[in-house]
Amino acid sequence: MEATTNTVPCPECEAVVPIADDTLLNEIIPCAECGADLEITGLDPLTIEVAPEIEEDWGE
């Protein structure tokens, strides 16, 4: 059985981002147009947000 794909607009550039049905909550995917890392924040309905950048704490 082949996975189907849904689409959502990229929150950065509004490009169409394909999301496979087997995508998991909190999974990080890249936008093919602008390269932004996007996080799956909801599955029903399907929602994405720009993933937070991981900051180095350098032991502070």
Which domains are present in the chain? 5-50 (2.20.28.160)
Residue with tokens 């998991």: 24
Per-residue pLDDT tens over the stretch 1-52: 556 689 999 999 999 999 998 999 999 999 999 999 999 999 999 999 999 8
**55 within 8 A of 38, measured Cβ to Cβ:** no
**16 within 8 A of 9, measured Cβ to Cβ:** yes
Q: Model's pTM, two decimal places?
A: 0.79
